[in-house]
Amino acid sequence: MASKQINTLTLSERIQVLSDLGDYLRQETELGKKSSAAFTNLIAQVERENPWFTSEFTQKAIQAWAKLLDNDRLTTFVAPYQIAQDSISKKPKTVLLILAGNIPLVGMHDLVCCFLSGEKSLIKLASKDKLVVPFLTSWIIQHCPKAKNYIEYVEGIASEFTHVIATGSDNSARYFEHYFSKYPSIIRKNRSSIGVITPNTTTAELQLLGEDIFTYFGLGCRNVTQLFIPHNFNFELLKEAFLGFNYLYNHNKYANNYDYQKAIYLMNQERFYDLGHVLLIEKDEIKSPLGVLYYTYYHEIDEVEQFVTHNHNQIQCVVSDSSCPISHMSFGTAQYPDLWDFADQIDTLHFLLTSTYDEEA
């Protein structure tokens, strides 16, 4: 399989293109400033087509990327890698990106990595998130026509690609692994995140934990769905800390899930704590249903560490306070990964730069 040579922008130029996009997004989402009609219409259309992608959450995702797409940050990101300024001599790759659609812009990191590495992205959008990424890539191409050589969209069956990066459910991942077995690939499965409350966790940190749990309704792999708490923990502290997220119950789809789970637990006479917009259930599983947060008591932090070690393939990240000895992120930061916080701890840039496709295999 031979791909058309696409390396028409130097690394510095590609970084600048992404930095320019970041500048544009910062202008559109600047607090107190009116957004352009095109951007305002985009946000409204996204929510009409997918009610889970509320205007608030879509803008939150865009604001996060506006911060990441900064020239200095992008330069720091690529510095450890051997990316040639001009890669005309190397054999080009075409990377099929099968994007997830659980939260807004969830596939943006893969696209950014492909662009920075100098490879072409063949993008297959998720049906639930098919507006924002094309809007952003259209802006890029409009402001840098050469970037068109790096970005293409595909519907239906894809062909003429050399590598695959796909994200989906455990079931779809098994299909991807079989179907794309001859290609170098990154196949991501279901993951979720856990929170660890310690005796030193403050009220302010519990409020930040709410961001980790409820942002994007809890639909992302970085959302906390299992909470480890010390024995004799006072659940009233959580009820008070999470008051600011009661508005989620005003969202019809979320409320339906919450009400359904509550009805099931009542019929089964299971014990739960009802915080008004989320149900707390004692269970040692990682992934909880929408509208439910699992919790597990612990006596010693070693118990949590053993759980994390045993289930590391199912855990995206751990959040806690500074006293927790387990490797973790700070409360309130789970939904704001940096460029070098790779999903599933798989270095996407390294994969793109080092893996090769054997056409004869």
Side chain identity at residue 8, one-letter code: T
Q: Which of 291, 178, 286 minimizes the C-alpha distance to 245?
A: 291
Q: What is the model's pLDDT at position 208?
A: 98
| Domain range summary for the chain, segments of one domain joined by + | 11-190, 192-330
Global pTM value = 0.93
Mean pLDDT by 10 residues, the chain (361 residues): 59 97 96 90 97 97 97 97 72 92 96 96 95 98 96 93 92 89 94 97 97 98 97 93 96 98 97 96 96 97 96 96 95 97 96 83 55
Q: How far apart are CA 216 and CA 128, in angstroms?
A: 14
Question: 105 CB contacts (<8 Å, ≥6 apart)?
Answer: 61, 62, 65, 129, 132, 133
Q: How far apart are CA 87 and CA 316, in angstroms?
A: 33
Q: What is the model's pLDDT at position 170?
A: 85
Contact 132, 59 (CB under 8 A): no
Per CATH, the architecture of 192-330 is what? Answer: 3-Layer(aba) Sandwich (3.40)
SS3 of the chain:
CCCCCCCCCCHHHHHHHHHHHHHHHHHHCCCCCCCCHHHHHHHHHHHHHCCCCCHHHHHHHHHHHHHHCCHHHHHHHHCCCCCCCCCCCCCCCEEEEECCCCCCCCCHHHHHHHHHHCCEEEEECECCECCHHHHHHHHHHHHCHHHHHHEEECCCCCCCCCEEEEECCHHHHHHHHHHCCCCCEEEECCCEEEEECCCCCCHHHHHHHHHHHHHHHHCCCCCEEEEEEECCCCCHHHHHHCHHHHHHHHCHHHHHHHHHHHHHHHHCCCCCEECCCCEEEECCCCCCCCCEEEEEEECCHHHHHHHHHHCHHHEEEEEECCCCCCCCEECCCCCCCCCCCCHHHCCHHHHHHHCCCCCCC
Both tokens of 53, joined, read 């992608």
How many other CB atoms sit within 10 Å of the CB of residue 273?
15
Side chain identity at residue 169, one-letter code: S
Q: What is the model's pLDDT at position 35?
A: 92
Q: How far apart are CA 218 and CA 211, in angstroms?
A: 9
Q: What is the model's pLDDT at position 2?
A: 41
Q: What is the model's pLDDT at position 44?
A: 97
Provide the CB-side half-sphere exposure for 171 (13 A, CA): 0
Q: What is the model's pLDDT at position 86?
A: 67
Q: What is the model's pLDDT at position 84?
A: 78
Side chain identity at residue 204, one-letter code: A
Q: What is the model's pLDDT at position 91?
A: 72
Q: What is the model's pLDDT at position 32?
A: 74
**Top-tier CATH class for 11-190:** alpha beta
Identical fold for domains 11-190 and 192-330, yes or no, is no
Q: What is the pLDDT of residues 38-90, one digit of tens each?
A: 999 999 999 999 999 999 999 999 999 999 999 999 999 999 998 977 655 56
Q: Which residues pair with 192 in a beta bridge?
A: 315
Tallying the residues shown for the chain, one arrives at 361
Q: How far apart are CA 329 and CA 312, in angstroms?
A: 15
Residue 259: φ, ψ to 5°: -65, -40
Q: How far apart are CA 248 and CA 255, in angstroms?
A: 7
